[in-house]
A and B are shown apart, each in its own frame.
Chain A
Amino acid sequence: MQYSFLIFESPADFEARRTDGEGPYVAAWRRYHQALVESGAYLGGAPLKPVATATTVRARDGKRLVQDGPFAESKEQLGGFILLELPSLDAALSWAARCPAAATGAVEVRPIDAGMHETICNPSASA
C-alpha cells in the first residue's frame, strides 16, 4: 500500500530550514530521511520552497486565472511531500509521528488511489 505524507510546517520550521544544513531541524530531517530509505519504504518526495513563492492557477471558461499565493491560507503551510510504500495505515501513522515537522506542524497521511492511478496511466489495461 502506498501512502503520501503531506508535510505542513510551522513558520518557525520554515525559518529553521534556512540554516544551510546546520541546526537541529535540518539534522532531524536528514536522520528521518535516512531511516525511511533504510526501511525500504521511501519511494520519493521533495521539500517545497516557502509559501511566499506559491502561485495558484485556475482555468475557467478557457481563461487562465493566475494568482499570487497558495491555494489555502493557513498558519502551517504545505512544505513538502513524501511517497512511501508501507504495509498499513498504522505503519504510516507511526512513520508520520516520527517526522520532524509533526512536532510543531502537522503531517497529513493520505493513501494513494492505486485504482485511479491505473485508470490514468494505463487506460487500455483497465478498459
Chain B
Amino acid sequence: MTQDARETIELVARSAYGKLVAYLSARTRDVAAAEDALGEALLEALAAWPRDGVPEQPEGWLLTAARHRLLDQQRRRRSRERHEAVLASLAEGESASADPEGLPDERLGLFFVCAHPALDPSLHAPLMLQVVLGLEAACIAPAFLVSPAAMSQRLVRAKTKIREAAIPFELPEERELPGRLDSVLEALYAAYGLGWDAIQGADDAARDLAEEALWLARVLLQRMPEEPEVRGLLALLLFCESRRAARRPAGGGYVPLSEQDPGLWSEALIREAEAQLSAAAERGRPRARFQLEAAIQSVHADRRRTGRTEWGAIALFYAELLHLAPTLGARIGHAVAVAEARGAAEGLALLDGLAPAGGSAHQPYWAVRAHLLKRLERRAEAAEAYDLALELTRDEAVRRFLRERRGSS
C-alpha cells in the first residue's frame, strides 16, 4: 500500500505537474507561488495517501490541496497585490472553470484573453508576458525594443482599459481564436527569447521561462492542430532548444551559432523540429512568419550533415521573411546571411540602412556590425562597435566573447 501510494504520487507528479501548475497559476499569474503550493500539496499527499489510501482522482486531490495552500499564500500577501484590476477579473472567472477534470491549460486561455481586439495589438504580447507569465515590465521591455518606463506605462494603460471599459476576462469563442493567434505566437516566441537570452546557468527562473514557452507551444498545438503557424513556432523553438548545450557549453561561455559544434546539437530535437516544419508545410501555403524563421534554422541544422551552411538559401528565406515581418531581428539576420553569402561589405550596407534609430540600443546590431567591420579590417570602427555592444549586454558570457573578439581586432 505504501509503495503503491508513493508510486502514484510520483506518476501524477511527473505526468500532471505542468498542467497543475498552469491551472493554479492561471488565477494568480504567479508560477513560483503555484509551484510552492503544489510542492506542499505533494508533501501532504506523501503523508496522507499511504495512510488513507490513494484517492480516486489523484490529480483533483492535489489540485484542491494546492489551491488551499495558494489561498493561504494569497491571504498572507493580499496587502501588496499589484495588479488589482487583473486579479479582480481573474477572480471573477474562478467559478466558471473550477472543474478539476480535464484541467485545460488555463494559462493558454489567458494568453488569448490578452489578445482582445479592443487592446492595442502591440501590447497583446507584453500583456501576456506580464499578466500570465508574471514578468515585470522592465524584463519584458527589451524583447519589444522599448524602454522599461515606456513599457510599464503602456501596460498600465492597457490594464486601465481592461478595468474601465470592462473588457471581459474570459475565454474567447472558438471562432475568435485564429484571429488572436498571431499575438499568442509572438508572446511565446518573446518568452522563449527572454529565457534564452538569460540562460547563464545561474538564472534558473529564466531557463524555466524558455521551457515554459516550449511547453505552452506544445499545448497550443494540441489545441489548434490545424494551424500551420503553431507548428512553425514549435519547430523554431525546437531548433533553438536543440542547440542549448552547444551555445552555452558546460564550462560557461557563449558560442555563436556559426562556431558551434554540431555534434553537441540534439539530434532528437532537430528531428522533431523538422517533422513539425514539414507538417506545417503540408497544411499551409504560402509560408508564414514562423515557418520561415524555422526554415532558416533548418538550413543551419543541416550543417551537422553537410559540414557547411547554405548562406545563400538563408539570405533568400530572410528576404521572404522581411516581406511578412520586417522586425529588427530579421533585418539583422538578413544582413548576416548576405554578408556570408556575398561578402561583408554588402552585409554592412544593409546594416547601414537600419542605423541609427532601429539599432541604436540593440546589442545584436552592434555585435554584428563590429564583426563585419572587423572582417573589412576597419579596426577602429570595429573596436568602437564592440564597445557599444559590450555596453548593451549584462550577460557575462556574451561580454567575455565580445571582449575576446574586440581584443584580437
Question: Which residues of A are in contact with B by a Cβ distance under 8 Å?
Answer: 49-50, 52-55, 66-69
Contact = CB atoms under 8 A, between A and B. Distances in A.
Contact of A50 (B117, B118, B119, B164): B164
Nearest to B161: A53
B357 interface: no
B117 A53 contact: no
A52 B118 contact: no
Given A52-B161, A68-B118, A68-B161, 14 more contacts: A49-B164, A49-B165, A52-B157, A52-B160, A52-B164, A53-B164, A53-B165, A55-B118, A55-B165, A66-B118, A67-B118, A68-B117, A68-B119, A68-B120
Interface in B87-121: 117-121
Contacts of A69: 120
Contacts of B120: 68-69
B163 to A, nearest CB: 9
B117 A66 contact: yes
In the A-B complex, the 9 residue pairs with the smallest Cβ-Cβ separation, listed nearest first, are A66-B117, A55-B118, A53-B165, A68-B120, A53-B164, A49-B164, A53-B161, A68-B119, A66-B118
A53 B119 contact: no
B118 to A, nearest CB: 4
Contacts of B161: 52-53, 68
Contacts of A66: 117-118
B255 to A, nearest CB: 42
A107 B161 CA distance: 25
Interface in B161-191: 161, 164-165
Contacts of A55: 118, 165
Interface in B113-163: 117-121, 157, 160-161
B122 to A, nearest CB: 9
Interface residues of B, number: 10
Greatest chain A CB density within 10 A among B118, B121, B157, B164 is at B118
A52 B154 CA distance: 11
Interface of B: 117-121, 157, 160-161, 164-165
B177 to A, nearest CB: 15
A69 B119 CA distance: 8
A83 to B, nearest CB: 23
B403 to A, nearest CB: 44
Contacts of B119: 68
Contacts of B117: 66-68
Nearest to A55: B118
Nearest to B118: A55
A68 B157 CA distance: 11
Contacts of A67: 117-118
A49 B157 CA distance: 13
Nearest to A65: B117
B276 to A, nearest CB: 30
Nearest to A63: B179
Contacts of B160: 52-53
A57 to B, nearest CB: 9
A68 B165 CA distance: 11
Nearest to B119: A68
A52 B161 CA distance: 6
A94 B369 CA distance: 65
A64 to B, nearest CB: 8
A49 B165 CA distance: 8
21 contacts: A49-B164, A49-B165, A50-B164, A52-B157, A52-B160, A52-B161, A52-B164, A53-B160, A53-B161, A53-B164, A53-B165, A54-B165, A55-B118, A55-B165, A66-B118, A67-B117, A68-B117, A68-B119, A68-B120, A68-B161, A69-B120
Nearest to B116: A66
A53 B165 CA distance: 5
B165 to A, nearest CB: 4
B404 to A, nearest CB: 46
Contacts of B118: 55, 66-68
Nearest to B166: A53
A121 B165 CA distance: 29
B388 to A, nearest CB: 35
A7 B265 CA distance: 64
A52 to B, nearest CB: 6
Greatest chain A CB density within 10 A among B157, B160, B161 is at B161
Greatest chain A CB density within 10 A among B117, B119, B164 is at B117
Nearest to A50: B164
B176 to A, nearest CB: 10
Nearest to A54: B165
B236 to A, nearest CB: 28
A69 B117 CA distance: 11
A115 B27 CA distance: 53
Nearest to B124: A68
Contacts of B121: 68
A56 to B, nearest CB: 9
